[in-house]
Amino acid sequence: MSEVAVDTAAAMLMEARGLLLRGWSQGAQARDRSGHVVQAWSHEAASWSLLGSLLASWYRHNESLEDDFVAHSMDARALGDAMAALGTSTGSADLDGWNDADGRHLSDVLTAVDGAIESLPA
């Protein structure tokens, strides 16, 4: 992992954690205030799943890169690094399935994000 990608992955995970604290969703990557399913990066989104919060963070960061191919490539790499760290932290490559499991709680999801952040190289 490059240092830039690790820093970006950590920033994405921290932003994803903040989104989850605003609202957590199961059964959809994102929902609006009425509970309707929306895209994770929608301005209408009010709650997110684990993967949805990461995608929302990536989209918001990626949107600002405009036509900078090198920065876009590093951002895509950082997304992959963040997803891999979450996979390790949750013990599952299926982040949607893990998020939506019966008995899953927001505290489990936040613990997984924290573990993913901690697992990234310093």
Measured distance CA(56)–CA(67) in Å, rounded? 19
Structural domains in the chain (count) = 1
98's CB contacts (< 8 A; 6+ apart) are 50, 90, 91, 92, 104, 112
Domain containing 24 equals 3-119
Residue 111 pLDDT exceeds 70 = yes
Determine the Cα–Cα distance for residues 109 and 104; give it in Å rounded to an integer.
8
The dihedral through the CA atoms of 29, 32, 36, 39 has a sign that is negative
User: If DSSP codes are grouped into helix, strand and coil, which group holds residue 66?
Assistant: coil
* 51-90 pLDDT, tens digit each: 999 999 988 765 554 554 444 455 778 889 999 999 999 9
CA 106, CA 68: separation in Å to the nearest integer? 36
pLDDT in tens, 2-24: 454 558 899 999 999 999 999 99
Give the model's confidence band at 121: pLDDT under 50 very low, under 70 low, under 90 confident, else very high.
confident
